[in-house]
Amino acid sequence: MRTTNARCAVSRRPLARLALLASALAAMLAAGLADASPYGPGHVYYDYGQAERILNNPDIVLYPGARRDIARGVASPAVMDVIEYSAAWYPITVSSIKTGHPYSHAPTLRALGMPGYPNAHHYGTAVDIAYVNGIMVYPGNPYARRLARNIYYDGSFAVQDLGSPWYFGPYSFSDAMHQNHIHIGWPYAY
C-alpha cells in the first residue's frame, strides 16, 4: 500500500483496521479531541476508507493542520466529499479545515449577517483550498474559478457559503479575505 505518511500505513486486514480505529477513537476521547463535532461530545466524523483515500491521494496536498483534522476525524463528511470532488478536477492544496483557523472571521460574518458567531471551520464543516492545479488561488487563476463554479453549481453539495475571488450568486461571496483561497462551508450544519 502506497503512503506518504507513516502514521497512515495500516494493515489491509479488517480486524487490524478495526482495532486501530477503536484505539484511535479511545485516544481521541481521552484527549478531549472528539468534542470537535457539532453533534455533541464524543462524536467523531470518520469514514476510514475516505480518510485513507484523501491522505494518500497524490493530487491532494494537505497543510499539517488539515492532515491532522482528517486523520482525527474532525472534518465533516461534506468537507471530505468536496475535497475528493475537487481533486477529481485538478490537483489541490487544502490550507485549512479546523486546526489553525480563527474562531471567527468578524468582517466576513458581519457581511453575512452573523456577527459574533463562530465560523464553520470551528465545527469542521468548512474547508479552504489555497492552490488549484499548482497555482495559488487569485482572481486570474482560471482553474480555481472553474473549480469554485463547479462546486457552487453542483447541487449535490448544497453549499451554504462559498467565499472566493468570484461571486456566483446567493450563498456565494467575495471579499478582501477570500482573494487567495476558495472557502467552502456549511455553517448551518450544526
Instruction: Give the tens place of pLDDT for each residue, 58-101.
Output: 999 999 999 999 998 889 999 999 999 999 999 999 999 988 77
Report pLDDT for 41: 39
Q: Which domains does the chain have, with CATH numbers?
A: 12-189 (3.30.1380)
Q: For residues 64 and 162, what is the distance between their CA atoms, to the nearest angstrom?
A: 23
How do residues 26-54 score in pLDDT, each as one tens digit?
555 555 544 444 444 344 566 788 999 99
Q: Name the nearest CA neighbour of 97 among 135, 71, 134.
A: 71
Tell me the Cα Rg of the chain: 17
DSSP states of 29-90 as a string? Answer: HHHTGGGGSTT-TT-----HHHHHHHHH-TTEEE-HHHHHHHHHT-S-HHHHHHHHHHHHHS
Q: Is the pLDDT of residue 5 over 70?
A: no
CA distance 10 to 52: 9
The set of residues, in sequence order, having a beta carbon less than 8 Å from that of 82 and lying 6+ positions away, is 127, 151, 157, 159, 184
User: What does the alpha-carbon distance between residue 135 and residue 123 come to, in Å, rounded to a whole number?
Assistant: 28
